[in-house]
Amino acid sequence: MPNESLTTTTQEIDILAGSGRELTLRLHTPVGAGPFPVVLDLHGGAWCKGHIDDCGLRDDTLAAAGIAAGALDFRDGADGYPTSNQDINYAVRWVKANGKDLKLDPNRVGLVGQSSGGHLAMLAAMRPNDARYTEIPLGGVDATVQAVVMVWPVINPLSRYRHAHRERVSDNPPAWIGDIPERHDLYWVTDENMTDGNPMLALENGEAVQTPPALWIQGSPDPVHDYRDLDSGADLNEPDRFVRNYQNAGGEIEMFRFEKASQTEMTAIEPTVAFFQKHL
């Protein structure tokens, strides 16, 4: 990270203006001539409850370090899969098409997301030209990105759904379960959708996907995201299982682990900034 922080500006842009539906990008940009690399930030909330406000500290920190960052108010909840990824895919293309006017470099674009947002970021990075996600028209550019950061992602929606149900009926159900299964039901509706929109299974099924440089940030203990999929027969917990799969597919991926009890929010933000400074 730089020794001195840059001055930044923030603006909200409706990147679907005139279409009859709003799609807000809250863009934090360093003050200066640019062009700056840009990262789209995807909030968590189990695909149902998050908000772009959740991304504020991370995006402020990225912009102060010379990397523009935009929190995207994508569709989620009852809008269902794959609407989130349709909005994300379009937003990447929109940034590339309009970057020059905003002092952004269309050739240096990344994605970052936390929890379910981390899942969406990786899914978008792996499938930039997938017809399921390119429904919103904008020609002349594609949604390929140069780097992706996942902050304790729900990388396998199907295994997490089954994990939560299994824990719910255990002798001592943990508090984290809450309404997690119901959020899965609202957004995904079916097991088939959780299989389709699944970065873990895409790799294990041999799908031809893109594998840009990636960083997985994982605090511990974290039974919500760092658990073993008992239905798969996998010999690793989900984070290490994905890292192995990604590497086997030819991707470059780093794992940053830390103990949650003694850390702050900046513990996950600092390696995020350093990773994007390296790869964008």
Q: Tell whether the model's pLDDT for residue 57 goes beyond 80.
A: yes
Question: Is the residue at 127 inside a domain?
Answer: yes
Q: Give the total number of structural domains in the chain.
A: 1
Residue 3's pLDDT band (cuts 50, 70, 90): very low
pLDDT at 134 over 90: yes
Q: Under a CB-based contact definition with an 8 Å cutoff, are residues 82 and 117 in contact? A: no
pLDDT digits (tens, 9 = 90+) for 115-132: 999 999 999 999 999 999
In this predicted model, what pLDDT tens digit does every residue of 142-184 receive, in sequence order?
999 999 999 999 999 999 999 999 999 999 999 999 999 999 9
In a domain, 3, yes or no: no
| pLDDT at residue 2 greater than cutoff 70 | no
pLDDT at position 194 is 99
Tell me the C-alpha to C-alpha distance, in Å, between residue 104 and each of 35, 36, 129, 232: 5, 5, 22, 43
Query: Is there a domain that residue 125 lies in?
Result: yes
Residues β-bridged to residue 14: 24
pLDDT interval class at 6 (50, 70, 90)? confident
SS3 call for 5 = coil
Nearest to 187 by CA among 40, 16, 44: 44
pLDDT band at 93 (very low <50, low <70, confident <90, very high): very high
Say how far apart CA 126 and CA 257 lie, in whole Å. 23
Task: Write down the mean pLDDT value for the chain.
Answer: 96
Tell me if 85 is assigned to some domain: yes
Residues facing 256 on adjacent strands = 217
pLDDT tens, position by position, 209-257: 999 999 999 999 999 999 999 999 999 999 999 999 999 999 999 999 9
- The pLDDT value recorded for residue 261 is 66
Does residue 234 sit within a domain? yes
The enclosing domain of 235 has a CATH number of 3.40.50.1820
User: Is 2 within the bounds of a domain?
Assistant: no
Distance (Å, rounded) from C-alpha 91 to C-alpha 127?
14
**Residue 155: domain span:** 8-279
Q: What are the backbone angles phi and psi of residue 176, rounded to the nearest 5°?
A: -65, -20
Its pTM stands at 0.96
Q: Could you tell me the pLDDT band of residue 264, with boundaries at 50, 70 and 90?
A: confident
pLDDT of 163 reads 96
